[in-house]
Amino acid sequence: MDHISDLVYYVVMSIEVNVHEAKTQLSRLLEQAMAGEEVVIMKSGRRLVRLTPVESAPVRRKLGTAKGDFVVPDDFDAPLADEVLEEFEK
């Protein structure tokens, strides 16, 4: 049985641009790199850098999501009791 048809081949398009073109078309090149295309920036016919997407960036936390989950007591910043302070000095 021929299993060749079961293989999946991924073709990565490669785009090579010079520095000037990269400067003028950066937004388009970034979109293409994010879409999975290989974008190579060249200078004098030499490959300098490859644009690749960064692994998923950390999600920024939204402030205020715990609102109402706890209450800060009025004496939050009051001096600690002597017994508590002694425990820190041990």
The DSSP-derived string for the chain is ---GGG----PPPEEEEEHHHHHHTHHHHHHHHHTT-EEEEEETTEEEEEE-PPS-PPPPPPTTTTTTS----TTTTSPPPHHHHHHHT-
CATH code 3.40.1620.10 for 8-53: yes
Task: Calculate the average pLDDT of the chain.
Answer: 84
Domains in the chain: boundaries: 8-53
Residue 75, pLDDT above cutoff 80: yes
State if pTM tops 0.75: no
pLDDT of 1 reads: 45
Q: What are 17-64's pLDDT values in tens digits?
A: 999 999 999 999 999 998 888 999 999 999 999 998 887 666 778 888
